Amino acid sequence: MEKPDTTALELQVHQQLRECSPVFLALADPVRQDIIMMLTKHDSLNVAQITERSPMSRSAISHHLKILRQAGLIASNKIGTEIYYELDIVAPIAQLKAFLDTSEQIIALKSEE
DSSP 4: P
- Per residue in 86-110, pLDDT tens? 999 999 999 999 999 999 999 999 8
Q: Which long-range contacts (CB under 8 A, 24 or more apart) does 21-28 make?
A: 22/70, 22/71, 22/72, 23/71, 23/72, 23/73, 23/92, 23/95, 23/96, 25/67, 25/71, 26/67, 26/68, 26/70, 26/71, 26/73, 27/71, 27/73
pLDDT of 1 strictly over 90: no
Domains in the chain, CATH or no CATH each:
7-111 (1.10.10.10)
Identify the band that residue 113 occupies on the pLDDT scale cut at 50, 70 and 90: low
pLDDT value for 4: 67
Mean pLDDT in residue range 52-79: 97
Average confidence score pLDDT of the chain: 94
b/e sequence 34-43, b meaning 16+ C-beta within 10 Å: bbbebbeeee
Identify the band that residue 5 occupies on the pLDDT scale cut at 50, 70 and 90: confident
Query: Could you tell me the pTM of the whole model?
Result: 0.86
Radius of gyration from C-alpha coordinates of the chain: 19
CA–CA separation, 66 and 59 (whole Å) = 11
pLDDT of 56 strictly over 90: yes
pLDDT of 29 strictly over 80: yes
